[in-house]
Amino acid sequence: MKKLYFALSILTMSALLVLSCTNFLDQAPKSVLSTENFFLSESDAIAAVSAVYDKLNKRHLVNATAWIYADITTPDTSTPSAELDIAVFDNFNLGTSNPYLNGNWPELYEGITRANYVISNLPGMADIDNVLKDRLLNEVKFLRGWYYFFLVQAYGGVPLITEPINISDETQYLVPRSTKEEVYAQIEADFTAAEALPATYTGSNVGRVTSGAAKAFLAKAYLFQEKWELASSKAQEVVASGVYQLLPSFRDATWNKNTLESIFEMQSIGGTPGWEDDNEGNSIGIWARPTCFGGWGLHNGTQDLYDAFEDGDPRKSYTLLDVGEEYDGQVLPSGCLPDNTYALLKLLGDPAGGTGGDANGSQNFIFMRLSEVYLMIAEANVMIDNLSAAENALEVVRNRARNDVNADAGALPTLSGLSKSALIDAIRNERRVELASEMKRFYDLVRWGIAGEVIRADGKNFIDGKHELFPIPQSQIDISQGTLIQNPGY
């Protein structure tokens, strides 16, 4: 019998343990080892955990599919119409056999499979320090929760697999979808367990999951379920920890690696051997880099996003590059990009760190910054009618932008005394411009219940009740012999 994609490669751990993208991940084994002779030493455990992190830095997860799902689908970014496999996301003409769909589902479940094997095998190991064992287990639980969070946002309820699959029992491959609520319960449990992690790391361990990351993503999971009080309380724990701070410069906050503002990011090392998924670099930048700058030019900002920034907001010039403006000693010429589009400067990153022209860039991708935590506090509080707390949290984010060296005088005035409705709109737009091109916008529009309104206003064929979720790949439904039920409308 054919097997579900998320069960692939479970016969050998090393098939799952591919080298990833920073020092602490360089421990993955290179030889073929069965699970019976793998979980024996501390180095085995560290390598197995490194393998769970590894799935973040793949084309069909963060490097491509994540921004296709979360940004290309919105009025904020676009792709040239000739790039058909991506353009179908832009115009909501998506079928069930798209290569990005076909790649994303198994990529996520392979990460979950790796996590489940660690969670199952690590507790029984004797030759490992117990403090380290507990830390590694909680790192993996966070990552499993992160992968499920991606799945539930993109597809709704999905098969909930929390134990290793027994390959001799073929019924274990035919797993039906759990409800969205059941998946969120598991996400909450995994993020809650990870709150026990250290607050910070040093040396080669910088970049690992921290307690702050667990709290921030738990707050986000609460926010997405409209558990407003819990979201606000948990997000405020992140702020109160004192570990993080907003940097004075928005550019530094979005371009530099592992800063005091960053809570969790995908680690990358540019210039490592191999092409895209086979190296330890970041290929996000090369997708967005204009062709006249040596990139692929397949992910561009739009006029709609440009117009969303208030006059004088320095974040606009840090996020979008217009014709005639310079990046890395090159001026963007007219005709390089489609009309009324802009280069996504935020994603290109600091040229001093390496351009990644071979899909092997050095820029990390930041999943969570402190500014998003403040905006979660603002949103949660406005929804429970605590308008003053919402205004205060919003002001923290606007104040940093207002005081940036490149802000125009008088830009971004303090917002106070707004009605609840006006404050909700202000917080939503602040989230849009502060987090532009950070792979969040589509899911925000969906959870706010305005996706159809906003996306149809951009001339796209969004159908309410269908396009809030992506289709499950038809190949997975076929393999499951119909156990998996397709999302409505596909």
Per-residue confidence (pLDDT) for residue 365, from 0 to 100? 93
Per-residue confidence (pLDDT) for residue 36, from 0 to 100? 62
pTM, two decimals, is: 0.93
Extents of the domains making up the chain: 1-198+463-480, 276-363
Average pLDDT over residues 361-375: 94
User: DSSP per residue over 317-379, as a string?
Assistant: HHHEE-TT-EETTEE--TTSS-TTEEEEHHHH--GGG---TTS-B---EEEEEHHHHHHHHHH
Average pLDDT over residues 149-168: 92
Average pLDDT over residues 306-326: 97
Per-residue confidence (pLDDT) for residue 50, from 0 to 100? 94
Per-residue confidence (pLDDT) for residue 466, from 0 to 100? 98
pLDDT(224) > 60: yes
Q: Give the pLDDT band of residue 30 (cuts 50, 70, 90).
A: very low
Instruction: Give the start-end residues of each E strand in 261-329.
Output: 262-266, 300-302, 320-321, 326-327
| Distance of alpha carbon 61 from alpha carbon 401, whole angstroms | 30
pLDDT in tens, 412-454: 999 999 999 999 999 999 999 999 999 999 999 999 999 999 9
Tell which residue, 330, 323, 326, 309, has the closest CA to residue 404. 309
**Is residue 77 within a helix (H) or strand (E), and if so which, with residue range?**
strand 77-78
Average pLDDT over residues 229-249: 98
For residues 60 and 29, which has the higher predicted lDDT (pLDDT)?
A: 60
Tell which residue, 351, 338, 310, 342, has the closest CA to residue 433. 310
Per-residue confidence (pLDDT) for residue 408, from 0 to 100? 95
Per-residue confidence (pLDDT) for residue 12, from 0 to 100? 33
Per-residue confidence (pLDDT) for residue 39, from 0 to 100? 86
Per-residue confidence (pLDDT) for residue 83, from 0 to 100? 87
pLDDT(27) > 60: no
**Pair of tokens at residue 439:** 């792979």
Instruction: Give the start-end residues of each E strand in 131-277.
Output: 262-266
**Looking at residue 261, what DSSP letter applies?**
S
Protein fold of 1-198+463-480: 1.25.40
SS3 sequence, 26-60?
CCCCCCCCEHHHCCCCHHHHHHHHHHHHHCCCCHH
Q: Give the pLDDT band of residue 354 (cuts 50, 70, 90).
A: low
Average pLDDT, the chain: 90
Average pLDDT over residues 124-152: 96
Angle ∠(418,422,425) on CA atoms, nearest 5: 135
pLDDT(344) > 60: yes
pLDDT(167) > 80: no
Per-residue confidence (pLDDT) for residue 26, from 0 to 100? 47
Tell which residue, 158, 153, 177, has the closest CA to residue 69. 153
pLDDT(322) > 80: yes
Per-residue confidence (pLDDT) for residue 200, from 0 to 100? 98
34 - beta bridge partners?
12
Per-residue confidence (pLDDT) for residue 23, from 0 to 100? 45
Q: Give the pLDDT band of residue 279 (cuts 50, 70, 90).
A: confident
For the chain, the helix, strand and coil percentages under 3-state DSSP, each to the nearest 5: 50, 5, 45
Percent of the chain with pLDDT over 90: 79
pLDDT(5) > 60: no
| Distance of alpha carbon 489 from alpha carbon 399, whole angstroms | 44
**Pair of tokens at residue 16:** 């799952």
Tell which residue, 317, 293, 296, 297, has the closest CA to residue 306. 317
Per-residue confidence (pLDDT) for residue 438, from 0 to 100? 98
